[in-house]
Chain A
Amino acid sequence: MSESALLPDAQAVPLAEMDISDPRLLEQDAWRPFFARLRREDPVHFQASSPFGPFWSITRFEDIVAVDSDYETFSSEPAIFIGDRPTDTPLTNFIAMDPPKHDLQRRAAQPVVAPQNLAEMEGLIRSRVIAILDGLPPGDTFDWVERVSINLTTQMLATLFDFPFEQRHKLTYWSDIAVGSPEMAGGSVGNEERLAGLEECLGAFTRLWHERKGREGGFDLISLLQRDPNTCDMVERPNEYLGNLLLLIVGGNDTTRNSISGGVLALNQNPAEYDKLRADPGLIPGMVSEIIRWQTPLAHMRRTATRDIEFRGKQIGKGDKVVMWYLSGNRDETAIDDADQFIIDRDNPRHHVSFGFGVHRCMGNRLAEMQLRILWEEIMQRFHTVEVVGEPERVRSNFVRGYRKLPVRLHPL
């Protein structure tokens, strides 16, 4: 995986030599034929060596649902991405935990993103969306990722944590470094920078915990953790506290951010769909699901086999890494009609695998959908087109499918 080497030809490379973990597949937007070939020729595929060690790739929709549902055979411990956690920070959180402990910690955090709480937040989100959109420069080229996608998701995170609003950019930074190390998912954040950043993050949130202790009410995440008997002393277990904070920071950041950018790109690549949307903004809720499917902001989740098992005719051994490629499941023609097409009014748009399935299914899915829905409702009230005017710059990772930059120009109504 040297910097200068070109990616191999997806059809010509022998399956045994294909490196499906290569982070350049997403960075160069070259992944489609590689995964299409695996789905066709070897949908439960063993890769004997990679920079992250050997692992199985699950690439079909139904097989992903089956693995994701069977938490007893396919454990989320010790890590949920293809690489391993660096051993210098033994963070724990409920996404990388099996029941029953998973259930206790998740239940404590879940109310922050439950629909009742979201209804309370809708007005606030809308006013923030409006302020962001009204502050954009009409006629100039600017970076949609920075001005809209990051800006909006960061404001949302600050709301969920009741984090000091003027320091909210730190949340984005911590999110980026938390999953940016080379050994985890092929990113490029150095260890020293990552450790310093995580320490700063823990320090800030530990101060917030103590400041907030004893305060009445509050539906932010910290207050909820403090009120639940299962998590009320979490601050005394810093690795667990930091782990769960980062889970929510990353979970609420990268995913929505990249779906916000991805929707603009998808509509630009499919002008007929943009026309449909202009003709009928009532299509927005279904389009939001379609954007989330089409983007698949997290390319994979990993499990670890807890026992020897035969799966679809293959012998998976105890301890083997099993990677569910959500990116591939969402393009599986046997489960989704015209899976490679972006169709904003498709039947059954919620039938996608971007949120995962089973007990680890995305907790914030309704929040994500609400943010995207409000954003597009407000965009359509203001702009005829958000035009992409240059090539997007993509993230180098095998985990996060996202954008660093997306140059756009606005065409007001």
Chain B
Amino acid sequence: MKQNKIKYWSIILILLILILIFVSLLSLCVGSAGIPLKDIPHILFYDKGSADHSILLGIRLPRIILGLSIGGALALAGALLQGIFKNPLVEPYTLGISGGASLGVCINILFKFYSKIGIIAYPLSGFLGASLVIFLVYYLNNKTRDIRSNRMLLTGVMISYVASSLVMLLMAISKTDDLQNIVLWIMGSLDEPNPVLIKMALFGSLAGLVFSYFFCFDLNALLLGEDEAANLGVNTTRTKKYLFIIASFLTGLSVSVAGIIMFAGLIVPHFMRMIAGPDHRILLISSFLAGAAFLVLCDVIARVIISPLELPVGVITGIIGGIIFIWALSRKQVTL
């Protein structure tokens, strides 16, 4: 049975990687200037001065890398949070963590922390905002000991509202050029000109994936409930603390680089759980890969649907994700 499991998991991983390569190539070819796939090697290696060359390497490739990192990070954060909270409807956006991160980033833009400590102020402020919310949601609900209830989801939605109201408040009192900065960033897009932030997103999300694997067995045990996990030797308090930090780091990073991208962290782990099963050894990596492919695909759709104009990618994930969220909520038995 172990051989069967390894075989099944390998098939899933290979398929996901193939899908990921496919959507990445699609994203390279499709856009306001269509570039046929068969021309790409020629342009890359022999046509270095051309406009197509700079479109491919200067615009589309960074965008794909960012899409992969952010999509992977959000889906992974969703998988981790669903595991900790034992609730399949939980994700960075529905828990208000994205809202907290965006509030953090807004404060950073308004008070110009970035001019003092450099570009790292963006992900840092996002991370601080996100971790503040995650611990708040957890401790507000921990007293009732009924962590599975949708009360926690409601707390998250409320915190999300408060955070977005505060963002609006900040926008109302901010100067015009700050306001423009905030609006552009909040719209949520994978169009990020800063190569440092792109590198940070890539290596940050990969680091998140590696660290979350230290807790894959603890997450499996947590599926049985906190007491049972403790009976199986898991130090639940410590595990949850580290997982919260990883999830806030991933969310803060995503939000600070790409704005609020709704529901990517909800749908992907949900579907991967159906396909790959609840074992976090396969769930974490497959959610990461599928999330990466999903966001790159959504970005392609956002770019071509009203071409030559471009939709914020958050709109696409919001529409697809919202519908699936309602469907998931209406299913009678939603268990992990």
Partners in one complex: no
Footprint of B on A, CB under 8 Å? none
Footprint of A on B, CB under 8 Å? none
